Amino acid sequence: MNLQNPKKFRMLVSQAQEVALNVLRPISRKYDKAEHAYPKELDMLASLVDGMNEGGEGMNAGAAGAGKRGESKQSESNHEGVRNGTNMSTALSIIEMCYGDTGLLLSMPRQGLGNSAIAAVANDEQLERFKNTWAAMAITEPSCGSDSAAIRTTATKDGDHYILNGEKIFVTSGDRADSVVVWATLDRKVGRAAIKSFVVEKGTAGMKVERLEHKLGIKASDTAVISFTDCRVPAENLLGNAEVDVAKGFAGVMETFDNTRPLVAAMAVGCAKASLERIKQIFKDQLDDSYSTPYLQTSNLAAQIYRMEAEWESARLLTLKATWMADNKMPNSKEASIAKAKAGRIGNDITLKCVELAASLGYGEDELLEKWARDSKILDIFEGTQQIQQLIIARRELGKSSSELK
Give me the helix-helix angle, 86-100 and 251-282, nearest 10°.
Answer: 40
Active-site entry in 57, 311, 370, 383:
383
Q: How many CB atoms lie within 10 A of CB 29?
A: 15
Local structure of residue 5 (DSSP, 8 states): P
For residue 14, which phi and psi values (nearest 5 degrees)? -65, -45
Give CA–CA dist 89/44, Å, rounded.
21
3-state SS record for 12-39:
HHHHHHHHHHHHHHHHHHHHHHCCCCCC
Q: How many CB atoms lie within 10 A of CB 261?
A: 28
Amino acid at 318: L
Give CA–CA dist 399/405, Å, rounded.
10
Tell me the C-alpha to C-alpha distance, in Å, between residue 323 and each of 98, 117, 262, 265: 17, 15, 6, 10
Tell me the C-alpha to C-alpha distance, in Å, between residue 51 and each of 95, 221, 272, 378: 20, 23, 28, 30
Nearest to 339 by CA among 310, 363, 356, 315: 315
Asked if 267 and 98 touch (Cβ cutoff 8 Å), the reply is yes
Q: Is 335 in the active site?
A: no
Residues serving a catalytic function are 383
